[in-house]
């Protein structure tokens, strides 16, 4: 008795037979079936013919393998090769001269960049050590201090008391800082450059008063800072501030008898007379 297989089972039986399996069903009876195998295992679009596909494969193959073809080697004549070698040897021999010619303009520019000090800018002050106190965005105190200074807290308290008395209000906002010239700089050339000292001092003070809403009342405490401000050019902004000149705060701390005179000077400079 034979059993009829479905097309799917018949195709499976055919594949097993190709692999050498002759029996795969447990039933003893024989089997039979019809296998439908298409002429092309994949579908083709109706508008594409087989000839077109074959032509495309040939063209793609020619394009794809064309990149692997080695390019022809360009052979140089012996005369051309000798000329190239001679030219390279000339370039190598000329190397040091080329380097010297390239660096020469740079060396000349480095030598020529020399800024001479302005002879009109002169000052007897070549070293400066000061403490600055900006109080309530209204009062700026600049005081000389010794090069070795150990009374920082005492002078700071004196500056705050002085500011509170002058402004007639409590000091809720203030800052203190130090300025030294030439400071840690070891170049002796700085000692002779008064113009650089002027520029450094003006830049330092401008940073201190940048938050002030109006020109500050300026107290110059000490001979060095007073002399330096006197030596500044006439167009310097520091010369437009109302200014009082007194002895340094370290001297006022050391000699309390000098405080009365200093107070009278500040009163007359800021309140009785509106100019400095």
Kindly state whether residue 170 falls inside one of the protein's structural domains. yes
Question: Is-contact 121 194, C-beta < 8 A?
Answer: yes
Residue 34 is predicted with a pLDDT of 65
Residue 121 is predicted with a pLDDT of 52
Residue 272 or residue 59, greater confidence: 272
Same domain for 267 and 145: yes
- Residue 20 CA to residue 51 CA, distance in Å, equals 37
pTM of the shown model: 0.55
Same domain for 267 and 151: yes
Question: What is the secondary structure of 167-195 as a DSSP string?
Answer: HTS---SEEEEEEEESTT---GGGGG-HH
Residue range 14-33: mean pLDDT, rounded: 65
Average pLDDT across the chain, whole number: 75
Kindly state whether residue 9 falls inside one of the protein's structural domains. yes
Structure token digits, residue 242: 């109302």
Domain of 186 in residue numbering reads as: 128-272
Question: Is-contact 125 227, C-beta < 8 A?
Answer: yes
- In this structure, what DSSP letter does residue 209 have? S
Residues in the chain: 276
Same domain for 263 and 132: yes
- Percent of the chain's residues with pLDDT above 90: 36
Residue 60 is predicted with a pLDDT of 47
Residue 73 is predicted with a pLDDT of 63
Q: Where residue 61 falls among pLDDT bands split at 50, 70, 90? A: very low
Q: Is the confidence at residue 117, as pLDDT, over 60?
A: no
Helix (H, G, I), strand (E, B) or coil at 274: coil
Residue whose C-alpha is closest to residue 242's, from 222, 270, 214: 270
Kindly state whether residue 37 falls inside one of the protein's structural domains. no
Residue 274 is predicted with a pLDDT of 46
Q: In total, how many domains does the chain have?
A: 2
Question: Is-contact 209 240, C-beta < 8 A?
Answer: no
Structure token digits, residue 186: 């070891």
- Residue 199 CA to residue 240 CA, distance in Å, equals 17
Residue range 111-129: mean pLDDT, rounded: 62
Q: How many CB atoms lie within 10 A of CB 263?
A: 16
Q: Is the confidence at residue 42, as pLDDT, over 70?
A: no
What angle separates helix 259-267 from helix 152-167, to the nearest 10 degrees?
40
Kindly state whether residue 238 falls inside one of the protein's structural domains. yes
CA dihedral for 76, 79, 83, 89, sign (positive or negative) = positive
Same domain for 19 and 143: no
Residue range 65-73: mean pLDDT, rounded: 54
Same domain for 134 and 267: yes
Residue range 208-223: mean pLDDT, rounded: 93
Same domain for 15 and 147: no
Kindly state whether residue 40 falls inside one of the protein's structural domains. no
Q: What is the pLDDT of residues 156-205, one digit of tens each?
A: 999 999 999 999 999 889 999 999 887 766 666 666 677 788 888 999 99
Kindly state whether residue 97 falls inside one of the protein's structural domains. no
Residue 139 is predicted with a pLDDT of 95
Kindly state whether residue 137 falls inside one of the protein's structural domains. yes
- Token look-up 């080697």 returns 73
Kindly state whether residue 98 falls inside one of the protein's structural domains. no
Residue 205 is predicted with a pLDDT of 93
């Amino acid at each position: 008795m034979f059993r009829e297989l479905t097309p799917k089972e018949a195709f499976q039986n055919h594949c097993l037979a190709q692999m050498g399996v002759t029996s795969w069903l447990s039933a003893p009876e024989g089997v039979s079936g019809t296998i439908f195998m298409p002429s092309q295992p994949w579908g083709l679009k109706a508008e594409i013919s087989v000839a077109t596909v074959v032509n495309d494969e040939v063209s793609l193959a020619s394009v794809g393998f064309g990149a692997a073809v080695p390019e022809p080697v360009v052979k140089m004549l012996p005369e051309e090769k000798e000329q190239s070698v001679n030219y390279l040897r000339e370039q190598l021999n000329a190397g040091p001269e080329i380097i010297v010619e390239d660096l020469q303009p740079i060396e000349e520019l480095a030598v020529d960049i020399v800024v001479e000090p302005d002879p009109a800018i002169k000052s007897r002050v070549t070293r400066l050590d000061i403490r600055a106190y900006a109080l309530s965005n209204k009062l700026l105190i600049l005081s000389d201090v010794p090069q070795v200074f150990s009374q920082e807290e005492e002078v700071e308290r004196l500056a705050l008391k002085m500011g509170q008395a002058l402004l007639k209000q409590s000091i809720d906002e203030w800052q203190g800082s130090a300025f030294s010239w030439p400071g840690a700089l070891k170049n002796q050339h700085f000692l002779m450059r008064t113009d650089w000292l002027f520029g450094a001092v003006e830049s330092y003070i401008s940073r201190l008063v940048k938050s002030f809403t109006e020109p500050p009342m300026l107290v110059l405490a000490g001979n060095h800072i007073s002399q330096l401000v006197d030596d500044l050019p006439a167009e310097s902004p520091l010369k437009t501030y109302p200014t009082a000149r007194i002895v340094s705060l370290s001297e006022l701390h050391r000699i309390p008898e000098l405080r009365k005179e200093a107070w009278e000077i500040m009163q007359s400079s800021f309140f009785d007379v509106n100019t400095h």
